[in-house]
A and B are shown apart, each in its own frame.
Chain A
Amino acid sequence: MAVSSAQLYTWLERYAGIVAEQKQYLTGLDAAIGDGDHGINLDRGFQTVLVKLAPVRDKDAGTLLKTTGMALVGSVGGAGGPLYGTFFLRAGAALDGKAEISDAELVDALEAGLKGVQERGKANRNDKTMVDALAPAVERARQYLGEGAPLEEVLAAAADAAEEGMKATIPLKALKGRASYLGDRSIGHQDPGATSSYLMLRALSDSLAVLPQRAATTTT
C-alpha cells in the first residue's frame, strides 16, 4: 500500500491535536525529572507547525516533513526543539519530492529520523530518552516489513514497540539531559520524551490505518 503526502499531513495534524490534549500530562512527567516544560514547548511547536504547513499542505512528503522540522527547530527551544526538529528534517530529506511513498520508503524515513535524533542527542538505548521509544519502533517496523506484513500492521507493531519502550524507561536511570543530574532520583519516572515519541508513532499508525482506528491516547 502506498502512502500519499496528504495522509502524512493527516498524521501531523492528528499529532498536533494529541500534543495539545496531552500538554499537561507531558509537562507533569517532565516536572518530575526535568524542567517541567516539555508539553508546553511541544504544543507551542506543533501549533507553529500547523500554521507553517497551511500554505504547503498540498506539496510533497519531503516538503511537509521538512517544513515541520524547521517550524519545530524555530519555536520549541530547549532540547526538544533540535531533537524533534532533526527527526522531521531527516525523515523529510529521505522523502524529498515524493508525493507517493512506498511502505519501505516510509520505514526508511522513520529510520533516518531516528538516526538524526541519535546523532543530535548522542543518546543510546536505555539512556532514558526518546530513543527508547523510537529505536524499538523502527526495529519492529523493519521486522514486520521484512515479513511482508501490510503497512497498517507494520505501523501498529511499531507503535506497540514504542509503547513498550516508553514503559521500560520507568525503572531506568537517566544518563542524558537535565534528568541525568538527578542520578538515582530519576528512577521510577517515565521519560517525557519517550512518551511524546510514542504518542507520535501511535498517531502515525492511527492516521494511516485503513482498519478501524484505535484510541490514540492510551497513556492517561
Chain B
Amino acid sequence: MDDLNTLREDLMTAVGAAADSAALEETRITALGKKGRITALMKGLGGMDPDQRKQMGQALNALKGEVADAIEARKAEIENAEIDAGLEDDRVDVTLPVRPETEGRIHPISQTIDEIVAILGEMGFAVAEGPDIEDDWHNFTALNIPPDHPARQEHDTFYLPGEKDGERMVLRTHTSPVQIRTMQSGEPPFRIIVPGRTYRCDYDATHSPMFHQVEGLVVDKTTHMGHLKGCLIEFCRAFFDLDDLPVRFRASYFPFTEPSAEVDIGCTRDDGQFRIGHGDDWLEILGCGMVNPKVLENCGIDPEVYQGFAFGMGVERLAMLKYGIPDLRTFYESDLRWLKHYGFAALDVPSMVGGLGR
C-alpha cells in the first residue's frame, strides 16, 4: 500500500508539473497508458488471491480515478493558459477602418416618384404609362390644343423627322398624352397616375430640356371639383408631411381642362430663408382641372355621362421643395458627390404605413 502512496505522490507531482498539453499527455501515458504504471499494476491483479485482489483492485481503481481527474483538471488549466497566451498574440488595433463597402443610392427623382405613387396609390390610383416619342395628335390635338393654338407655341416642342398617320412625331411635352392613350384603350371609370419623362426645348437655370412629370386622371360619373380639391390637398399634406399645410386653388387655364386651376401651397421667405408651411406667401406647385368635355369626346367618351379631373405636377420641383435641392440642372449631372448627398438608401422604400421617409 505504501507503494501506492508513493506512486500517487509521483504521479500527482508529475501532473502538477506538466507545463503544456504535450507534457501532460506524456504524464497520462506514463500513468494510464497501455504500458503505464497503474495499468501495469492492474495487470498484476490476476495473480493475486481473491481478498488481496479485491482490496488492491479497489485501491487501484480509486487511484486511477484520482489521477484521471487530476489530469483533466490540469488539462483545463493548461488550455486556459494557452488561450490566454494566444489572446495576447491576437490583439489588434480596433481603431483601424473596416473593409471598404460602397453604399449605393437611389436618385431623388425615383424616390419622389415612389413617394407620389405611395400616396396616390392609397387613393386607388394605378400607374399608367406611354411612350416618350409621341405624335402631334396625342400630345396636342386630342388634348384640345389645335395646331394654331397659342398654347402649342408655348410648349417649346422637340420635333423628330417622322410622321404617323400624317401627324408629326415629337418628344412629349407633358405626360398628358397618356390620358388619351388610357381613355382610348379602356372603358371608364379611370383612376390613373402617369410618372414619366417629358421634354421641352428650353435650357436655363430653371428649365431643363428633360424633366419628369406625374399626371393624374380620374374619369367616372360623379367626381367633381370638390373631389379634385380633396385629392390634391390630401396629397400635398401627405407629401410634405404637414397636416396643416395651407393649399389654395385659383383659377387658371389649360386647354385640356375646364374649369382649370393652379394649386399653391403656403410658404414663408422670412430673412431669405425659404420654408414650406404656414406663412404669408404662396408657391405654385401644380396645375389641374376638370377634364375638358372635348378631350373626353376625342377619346370616344360621352361627356354627357362621364366627367372627372386631371392634374399634372413636376417631379423635380416637388423634390427640390421637399428636400431643399437648390438647382434643377444638378439632377442630371450624375455628380456622385451630389447623388450621395441628396440620394436615398436602397431600403428607404416609401409607403404610407411605413412612412414616406426615415
A, B assembled together: no
Residues of A bordering B, CB below 8 Å: none
Residues of B bordering A, CB below 8 Å: none
